[in-house]
Amino acid sequence: MIKNIAVIRGDCIGPEIMEQTVAVLDKVAEKFGHTFIYKEAPMGGEAIDKFGEPLPQSSLDTCLQSDSVRLSAVGGPKWDSVPKEKRPEAGLLRLRSAMGLYANIRPAKLFDELREASPLKPSITQNGIDFVVVRELIGGAYFGEHKTEKLDGEFYAQDIMGYSEHEIERIAHVAFQTARKRRKSVCSVDKANVLDSSKLWRKTVTKVAENYPDVRLSHMYVDNCAMQIVRDPSQFDVIVTENLFGDILSDEASMITGSIGMIPSSSLGDGTRGLYEPIHGSAPDIAGTNAANPIGMILSAAMMLRYSFNMLEEAKAVEDAVDAVLKAGFRTGDMISEGKIQLGCREIGREICFRI
Ligand code: IPM
Ligand code: MG
């Protein structure tokens, strides 16, 4: 198969982990007889430096014309002082919205090999951690009206958090369908005791659930959910929630698995074209030192193979290679523990390629 892949190399550690991911994809192409054609689409800090804006039209066009988009991570202190609408994050939000990527899937999985790296006590992790956060990605407070004004002699700012029924329905369908392929349980997270948008969320998710009688639906308030994730994460299979709650809960969920550097994510809309990225940031403190963990990024390539290209065997080959590297005792600095062998970003990438 021939696939066109838009590549957003990103900022800080971005290019380093992208290089390893492209090497892994090239290995997959060689082994399974595919051709992957990469086209660069600068976005974020790199694009601000080159074009004066975080998402130039040419990059957006490249993404929209591709079969899928690979993204590492954008942003860094260098661009912290640019105005909000020109920040790297603004480019990412515009890209998500322009591509119609309303469903963001973020798995939280405790790898057996990394059990000791979880900050939770063994008595809590003993039942395992294996759930996914299905986060609504192009609605809510992120995309509602933002306003800062002077009112009665002081500044007043607001961000409107709103949802329409169809926005809730489509993400609810994604959650139920995801659960069907897993342990058939959806926990919908909201703040329906306070927010109107959450009341509509709960009502709409409950209605969509009628189409999935085989899936168990429960509801939880977001504050309680934040607590339950550290109290007993094994209770969750699929968590579905709105954009801002999902942003916060997915960071919490990744932390309890031991290394935020290991977790991939996918963002999809109605078609098969997706945006695949690790969930971690651009780690400016270790940029250029070959210390970054490329595994989250490489596992997101596996997600791309599976979900956008329907290359199931290929995806599994990548995941198995990652497992094998961990089993062999190789670790990057962020997940090192006693008795394991510390390697750099390039070397971990090479070990993974070798095992594909
Ligand atoms: C994420 C990030 C982004 C978000 C930022 C960089 C805009 O935190 O992907 O979770 O809030 O969605
Ligand atoms: Mg986030």
- Quick: pLDDT tens for 239-275: 999 999 999 999 999 999 987 899 999 999 999 999 9
Question: Which atom number of ligand 1 is nearest to the Cα of residue 137?
Answer: 12
Give the distance (Å) from ligand 2 centre to CA of residue 243: 10
**CB distance 92 to ligand 1 below 6 Å:** yes
Q: b/e for 241-252, b at 16 or more Cβ within 10 A?
A: bbbbbbbebbbe
pLDDT of residue 229: 98
**CB distance 16 to ligand 1 below 6 Å:** no
SS3 per-residue string spanning 16-71? HHHHHHHHHHHHHHHHHCCEEEEEECCCCHHHHHHHCCCCCHHHHHHHHHCCEEEE
pLDDT of residue 113: 83
The percent of residues above 70 in pLDDT, for the chain, comes to 100
**CB distance 247 to ligand 1 below 6 Å:** yes
- 126, two tokens: 């003993």
- Domain 1-106+275-356 and domain 119-256 have a common topology: yes
Alpha-carbon distance 118 to 130, whole Å? 13
Give the distance (Å) from ligand 2 centre to CA of residue 149: 27
* Ligand 1: residue whose CA is nearest its atom 10: 247
Nearest to 21 by CA among 330, 287, 341, 292: 292
pLDDT of residue 137: 98
- Domain ranges for the chain, please list them: 1-106+275-356, 119-256
Give the mean pLDDT of the chain. Answer: 96
Give the distance (Å) from ligand 1 centre to CA of residue 201: 22
pLDDT of residue 112: 84
Catalytic residues: 142, 191, 223, 247, 251
Alpha-carbon distance 198 to 191, whole Å? 5
pLDDT for residue 12 is more than 80? yes
- The one-letter amino acid at 232: D
| Residue scoring higher pLDDT (168 or 337) | 168
* Ligand 1: residue whose CA is nearest its atom 6: 89
| Residue scoring higher pLDDT (336 or 37) | 37
The pLDDT confidence band at residue 129, using thresholds 50, 70 and 90, is very high
pLDDT for residue 116 is more than 90? no
- Quick: pLDDT tens for 297-319: 999 999 999 999 999 999 999 99
Q: b/e for 27-38, b at 16 or more Cβ within 10 A?
A: bbbeeeebebeb
pLDDT of residue 209: 98
Give the distance (Å) from ligand 1 centre to CA of residue 247: 7
Q: For Cα atoms 89, 233, 337, give the angle at the middle one, nearest 5 degrees.
A: 75
Q: pTM here?
A: 0.93
Question: Which atom number of ligand 1 is nearest to the Cα of residue 96?
Answer: 12
Give the distance (Å) from ligand 1 centre to CA of residue 9: 17
φ/ψ region of 300 (left if φ > 0, alpha if ψ in -120 to 50, else beta) reads alpha
Q: Which CATH architecture has domain 119-256?
A: 3-Layer(aba) Sandwich (3.40)
For ligand 1, pick from 55, 93, 279 the residue to mutate: most ligand atoms within 8 Å of CB: 93
The percent of residues above 90 in pLDDT, for the chain, comes to 93
Phi first, then psi, for residue 61 (nearest 5°) are: -60, -45
- Quick: pLDDT tens for 163-220: 999 999 999 999 999 999 999 999 999 999 999 999 999 999 999 999 999 999 999 9
pLDDT of residue 111: 86
Question: Which atom number of ligand 1 is nearest to the Cα of residue 88?
Answer: 6
Alpha-carbon distance 209 to 207, whole Å? 5
- 238, two tokens: 């699929």
Question: Which atom number of ligand 1 is nearest to the Cα of residue 104?
Answer: 9
pLDDT for residue 296 is more than 80? yes
pLDDT of residue 274: 97
* Ligand 1: residue whose CA is nearest its atom 2: 247
Q: CB within 8 A of 141, min separation 6: which ones?
A: 159, 160, 161, 243, 244
Contact between 133 and 106 (Cβ < 8 Å): yes
For ligand 1, pick from 92, 159, 244 the residue to mutate: most ligand atoms within 8 Å of CB: 92
Give the domain 1-106+275-356 fold. Answer: Isopropylmalate Dehydrogenase (3.40.718)
The pLDDT confidence band at residue 161, using thresholds 50, 70 and 90, is very high
* Ligand 1: residue whose CA is nearest its atom 9: 279
